[in-house]
Structure 1
Amino acid sequence: MYLKRALFYGMLLLLLVFTAGSAKKAYEGRRMQEDIAEKILRFHVRANSDGEADQALKLKVRDAVGKEMGELLQDAKTAEESSRIAGEHFPEIIHIAKEVIRQEGYDYPVEVKLSSVEFPVKTYGSYTFPAGTYQALEVIIGAGMGHNWWCVMYPNMCFEGSVYEVVDGKSEKVLKDTLSETEYQSLMEEKNYKISWKWLDFWDK
């Protein structure tokens, strides 16, 4: 009886220590994500629907708007400045998106806004950005009910090479200069932790 009781309390202690350590790691991960999010601006394009034509249209709008924003933001020094520039050019962004839509034979409305958006874990080159809330320039086509596309607008990780997801040397330098050393290194580390027990399956991403 004594051995069983000792084993039970020993297992309970291990569980508490493990859970506390995991909770601390999750908290630190959230804080790190929040700190990183303050220093970058993301780009989010939402398609009208998941139909093949609407998804293809989304990519055409992405390319056109991405090219324009790449030029507008080429001299931006911070995420805050990038957001300001984007906000000042909403009419141009809407016009560009609508022109692409018109040329493709549609008449969907377009909404453009800066907002806080939930993003999943996403990798660009060697960098993995943690899931969480980020400030983003959103382009919403029509009903905005289709699968979306996202990237990092500042520092530029979208617009080189026809807005495919790349990280060139200039962007790497800007990213490293923008983030603290700890934040920068965290983007190059695995961000998945799994705790498995008989009745517990918890993911912290």
Structure 2
Amino acid sequence: MHMGREYYYGSKIRQVVCLIFGIFVAALLTGSCVERGIERVEAKMEHTQKTLAKEVLRFHVLANSDSEEDQAVKMKVRDAVLVYMEESMGQELGDEPDAEETKEWVRSHLHELEDVADQTVADEGYSYQSRAEVEVSYFPDKQYGDVFFPQGEYEALKIRLGDARGHNWWCVLYPSLCFTDTACTVVSDEGKQGLKEVLTAEEYEMVTATSDFKIKWFFFGDGAKEE
């Protein structure tokens, strides 16, 4: 009886040890799968960012300071520059310029854009000047309505007002995703169509789908099948 009891308890202990070991191995495998999944998503998003960076032009306005007055001037400049660009670019390039045409137009009209900004600042009763440049800058993750732009370096039209030490504002000039309000809740169909034309279907899905859908798409869609 004594030996039988020892065998019984020894068997139970081995089962428990095996169960714990199995759970441990499963946890390791699951953790490894999740880590690989995250790495794949990050790699795909990085590739999408590089594609976007070649095809978009962002717009960046830096306020003179964080005072309420300077921040208000920044938004006035934003509105005036967008209106000027829409009218002038439309007259010179037509309704559907591509990315390179848009960038070239902006580079060749920097002085005019500065004039628009300076006049707006003067109309608001201030004397500081603006500086307009096209340069490559790092941007953090940004949500434009229901479109997501991953962090990375992008070419941008930058207008610095005065000391340019205040909070900034930005949008995407091409394709047109700029808003003239602060809500930024809806991207126009025209803007989305512009994105569709420069991204693959998979990339477009990644920047327009919700986070939950992206995760599900990776683990259960085509992304899960890749090696």
TM-score clears 0.5: yes
Residues of 1 paired with 2:24 and 2:203: CA distance?
40
SS of structure 2 residue aligned to 1:34: helix
SS state at 1:38 partner = helix
From 72, 76, 81, the counterpart of 1:60: 76
Aligned to 1:149: 169
Give me the whole-angstrom Cα distance separating, in 2, the residues matched to 1:125 and 1:50.
25
Give the structure 1 partner of residue 6 of structure 2: none
Residue-by-residue CA offset, 1:57-85 (whole Å, 9 max, x unaligned): 10011111111122233335222221111
Greater CA drift, 135-144 or 170-179: 170-179
Pairing 1:8-157 to 2, within 5 Å after superposition = 8-74=24-90, 75=94, 77-157=97-177
* Alignment-mate amino acid for residue 50 of structure 1: D
Please state which structure has a larger fraction of its residues in strand: 1
Query: Is there any run of 5+ residues in structure 1 with no aligned partner, and where?
Result: 195-205
Q: CA RMSD in A?
A: 2.4
Q: 1:84 to 1:66 in 2, by over 3 A?
A: same
- The Cα shift of 1:7 comes to 3.7
| Structure with greater helix share of residues | 2
8 Å CA contact 1:115, 1:137 repeated in 2? yes
Correspondence for 1:182 among 202, 205, 210: 202
Q: Which structure 2 residues correspond to residues 158-197 of structure 1 after superposition, within 5 A? A: 158=178, 163-164=180-181, 165=184, 167-191=187-211
TM-score (norm 2): 0.74
Q: How much has 1:35 moved relative to structure 2?
A: 0.9
Range with greater deviation from structure 2 (97-106 or 112-121): 112-121
Q: Mark the runs of 5 or more structure 2 residues left unpaired by the alignment.
A: 1-13, 216-227
**C-alpha distance in structure 2 between counterparts of 1:78 and 1:8, whole Å:** 55
Residues matched between the structures, number: 191
- Cα 1:182/1:71, change in 2 over 3 Å: farther
C-alpha displacement of 1:47: 0.6
Cα distance in 2, alignment partners of residues 179 and 72 from structure 1: 28
Distance 1:32 1:173 in 2: 16
1:125 and 1:137 mapped to 2: Cα distance? Answer: 21
- 1:37–1:135 CA contact under 8 A, matched in 2: yes
Deviation at 1:5, TM superposition (A): 4.4
* Contact 1:110/1:141 (8 A) holds in 2: yes
